[in-house]
């Protein structure tokens, strides 16, 4: 099953709803930096990765992934969609 | 006893430094990791990823002659936040994270016991004195070093967590002037020892 980037973004929006309200972020634009905008701290990132793996049953194999990809909306979504089969 | 940046240590000294770091982190490691070997591998992985709170330039070994007799690592809240993010990214690439589904859960659970210092705060991340070198005022000397380093960098407060059952360490901090902010317990985990940290503060 191919996972769409839109599905990943919708999931992220649900997961980060509280943080978005707290930080005055209304929309997860592709180039939004999740860390600089205050949506993710280190444990928040860990939690998001783990819940995405759970939700989409995707193994995120990170050997060759640029870790900076995790810090933007589009980058995070691409990691999940690229791993799906 | 002179302080040497961890980046300047000879290989044998680095090994001794990491043994002491392991000792300093033991309560956290026993709660989080499957075994001491995984904990040691994680320390090495953080160091090589440039994500270690105890790496250069924050970590320092205390050396006498060629021997490492103690270690300590401190950094301000902004540096800590940046390194914790780097450590999470490093964790995602750490083999044990992919192999053990419960590791991430325990790291999250343990994080509830850790302070979130502000940019003006200095945070004592690790400190350990070689067991054969205790009772000689080395802990006190390290705290003097920490306090003067924090003052010279314009920090307002020193913050630390100490395992609640490490009574001699708690006494050392109290005598130095630290006040307790309370004890925070991590949620119980199957087959893991409990984790309880006393959070302490010293206003400079």
* Per-residue pLDDT tens digits for A13-54: 999 999 999 999 999 998 899 988 989 999 999 999 899 888
Burial status of residue B17 (CB atoms within 10 A of its CB: 0-12, 13-18, 19 or more): buried
Instruction: Supply the pLDDT for residue A85.
Output: 45
Q: Beta strands B59-64 and B2-5: pairing type? A: antiparallel
Q: What range does the domain containing B25 cover?
A: 2-203
Nearest to B33 by CA among B195, B199, B161: B195
A42 to B88: CB separation less than 8 angstroms, yes or no = yes
* Per-residue pLDDT tens digits for B33-44: 999 999 999 999
Instruction: Supply the pLDDT for residue A62.
Output: 66
Indicate the number of domains in chain B: 1
B81 to A41: CB separation less than 8 angstroms, yes or no = yes
A42 to B105: CB separation less than 8 angstroms, yes or no = no
Beta bridge partners of B124: B74, B160
Distance CA(B97)–CA(B90), nearest Å, equals 10
- Nearest CA distance, A81 vs chain B (angstrom): 17
Residue numbers in A near B111 (CB within 8 A): 43
Distance CA(B159)–CA(B200), nearest Å, equals 6
Which among A35, A46, A62 is the nearest to B93, CB-wise? A62
Evaluate whether A5 touches A78 at the Cβ level (below 8 Å).
yes
Percent of chain B as helix, strand, coil, to the nearest 5: 50, 25, 25
Cα distances from A66 to residues A10, A63, A71, in angstroms, run 23, 9, 10
Distance CA(B143)–CA(B141), nearest Å, equals 5
Residue A1 pLDDT exceeds 80: no
A41 to B84: CB separation less than 8 angstroms, yes or no = yes
Beta-carbon contacts of B191 under 8 Å, excluding residues fewer than 6 positions away, are none
Instruction: Supply the pLDDT for residue A63.
Output: 65
* Per-residue pLDDT tens digits for B105-114: 999 999 999 9
Coil/strand/helix, residue B166: coil
Residue numbers in B near A67 (CB within 8 A): 89-90, 92-93
Q: What is the mean pLDDT of residues B50-77?
A: 97
pLDDT band at B93 (very low <50, low <70, confident <90, very high): confident
**Starting from the edge strand earliest in sequence, which strands make up the sheet with B67-76, in order?**
B2-5, B59-64, B67-76, B121-129, B157-163, B196-203, B179-185
Beta bridge partners of B201: B159, B179
B44 φ, ψ (degrees, to nearest 5)? -60, -45
Percentage of chain A beyond pLDDT 90 is 45
Give Cα B59 to chain centroid, integer Å. Answer: 9
Evaluate whether B96 touches B106 at the Cβ level (below 8 Å).
no
Distance CA(A61)–CA(A84), nearest Å, equals 11
Coil/strand/helix, residue B179: strand
- Nearest chain B Cα to A47, which residue? B108
Residue B108: CATH number of its domain: 3.40.630.30
- Nearest CA distance, A27 vs chain B (angstrom): 23
Residue numbers in A near B92 (CB within 8 A): 46, 49, 60, 62, 67, 70
Paired tokens of A7:
């599905």
Distance CA(B64)–CA(A22), nearest Å, equals 51
A46 to B91: CB separation less than 8 angstroms, yes or no = yes
Distance CA(A59)–CA(A44), nearest Å, equals 19
Distance CA(A65)–CA(B91), nearest Å, equals 13
- Nearest chain A Cα to B82, which residue? A42
B88 to A47: CB separation less than 8 angstroms, yes or no = no
A62 to B92: CB separation less than 8 angstroms, yes or no = yes
Q: Beta strands B196-203 and B179-185: pairing type? A: antiparallel
């Amino acid at each position: 099953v191919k996972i769409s980037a839109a599905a990943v973004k919708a999931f992220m929006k649900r997961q980060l709803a509280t943080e978005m309200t707290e930080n005055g972020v209304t929309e997860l634009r592709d180039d939004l930096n999740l860390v600089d905008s205050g949506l993710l701290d280190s444990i928040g990132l860990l939690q998001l990765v783990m819940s995405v793996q759970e939700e989409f049953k995707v193994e995120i194999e990170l050997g060759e992934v640029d870790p900076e990809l995790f810090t933007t909306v589009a980058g995070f979504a691409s990691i999940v969609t690229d791993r799906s089969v | 006893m002179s302080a040497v940046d961890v980046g300047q240590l000879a290989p044998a000294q680095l090994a001794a430094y990491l043994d002491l770091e392991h000792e300093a982190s033991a309560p956290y490691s026993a709660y989080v990791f499957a075994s001491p070997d995984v904990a040691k591998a994680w320390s090495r992985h953080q160091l090589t990823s440039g994500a270690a709170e105890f790496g250069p330039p924050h970590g320092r070994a205390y050396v006498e002659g060629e021997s490492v007799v103690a270690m300590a690592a401190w950094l301000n809240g902004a540096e800590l936040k940046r390194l914790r993010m780097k450590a999470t990214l490093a964790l995602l690439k750490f083999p044990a994270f992919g192999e053990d589904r419960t590791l991430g859960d325990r790291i999250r659970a343990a994080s509830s016991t850790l302070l979130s210092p502000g940019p003006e705060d200095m945070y004592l991340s690790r400190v350990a004195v070689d067991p054969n070198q205790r009772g000689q005022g080395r802990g006190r000397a390290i705290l003097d070093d920490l306090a003067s380093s924090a003052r010279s960098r314009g920090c307002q407060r020193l913050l630390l967590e100490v395992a609640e059952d490490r009574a001699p360490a708690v006494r050392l901090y109290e005598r130095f002037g630290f006040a307790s902010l309370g004890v925070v317990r991590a949620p119980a985990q199957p087959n893991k020892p409990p984790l309880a940290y006393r959070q302490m503060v010293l206003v400079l």
